[in-house]
Amino acid sequence: MATRYIHFTEEQKQAARQIDIAGLLHSQGETLKRSGSEYEWRDGSAKVTVRGNLWYHQYEEVGGDAIDFVRRYYNKSYPEAVEYLLGGCSCTLAVSPPIEKEAKPFELPPKNDRLSRVYAYLIRHRKIDKDVLDAFVCKGMIYESADYHNVVFVGFDADGVPRHAHKRGTGSQSSYKGNIGGSLPEYSFHWHGQSERLYLFEAPIDLLSFISMNKDKWQQHSYAACCGVADHVLWQMMKDNPHIEKVYLCLDNDKPGQQAAERIIGKLVEKGIPSEILTPTLKDWNEDLLFTEQEEKPCQTLQL
């Protein structure tokens, strides 16, 4: 059957594009998680970030506006999506012109005068090696926030200016995590070494866990956490460290993580950069570390 032709004015199209996606999902009974000024919505195991009328698929690195969202996730054609957003759906959605918000400048959370909660969480609950943690703390790359006592993982630019921060709750049952507003993804949590090797992870805790299991001369190498699976920090690390010759992709052992690893390794192959995928035995490197600690067996180390 041919697609039904519907004429829309430019004003109607623009109004459809500006529909708040979080409001649309809530009206459909979907569950969203607040993360700073954004929302996170799960498409199966994949994470989709939503802010106002815009969305971004973290694993496939694609996104768009409200019309694109309805076309992709509601399996509708362009005219069907516009009609749906303008009132054809069973819900009632307010259509309003876009509100221009002043971009919030990046600002680190105030520091607590102690790091007791951070050390207790990362060493006792996550089993991070204390010497490894001390090295990052001494460089100001990990600290405890004064407000909610979160772990704050800081990323600096080449001039030593903080440009990115990722927060993680320190409660034993807390699952809170998120980036500080205004963070630049190309400077997410990382360590500069002098060797030719770069190890890339999804999360800061996975990065610390991997090092904890492979401590021998670990400071010589470079490490970076994407705080997701986008590869912005990888290319910035290559730019800032021209001595890097090989990249090890250490993403999670699940479908989104391995799909991202294959996608990134394809880009590295195109650029002629040697690379290798290192996969944790369990879901991620921290689960491997916790399992090793529980079994009280010597860590199986990689030749670094």
> What pLDDT, on the 0 to 100 scale, is given for residue 164?
96
> What pLDDT, on the 0 to 100 scale, is given for residue 129?
98
pTM: 0.72
CATH 3.90.580.10, the chain: domain bounds: 10-88
> What pLDDT, on the 0 to 100 scale, is given for residue 44?
65
> What pLDDT, on the 0 to 100 scale, is given for residue 301?
53
> What pLDDT, on the 0 to 100 scale, is given for residue 25?
85
Q: What is the mean pLDDT of each run of 10 residues along the chain (304 residues)?
A: 66 89 82 83 79 84 87 85 73 43 78 96 97 98 95 97 94 79 93 98 97 97 92 96 98 89 93 97 96 69 57
Q: Which fold has domain 123-295?
A: Dna Topoisomerase Vi A Subunit; Chain: A, domain 2 (3.40.1360)
> What pLDDT, on the 0 to 100 scale, is given for residue 246?
98
Domain spanning 10-88: CATH 3.30.390.10: no
> What pLDDT, on the 0 to 100 scale, is given for residue 291?
95
The DSSP annotation for the chain comes to -PPPP----HHHHHHHHTS-HHHHHHHTT--EEEETTEEEEEETTEEEEEETTEEEETTTTEEE-HHHHHHHHTT--HHHHHHIIIIISSS-----PPPP-PPPPP-PPPBPS--HHHHIIIIIIS---HHHHHHHHHTTSEEEBTTT--EEEEEE-TTS-EEEEEEE--STT---EEEPTT--GGG-SEE--SSSEEEEESSHHHHHHHHHH--TTGGGSEEEE-SSS--HHHHHHHHH-TT--EEEE---SSHHHHHHHHHHHHHHHHTT--EEE---SSSSHHHHHHHHHHHT--------
CATH 3.40.1360.10, the chain: domain bounds: 123-295
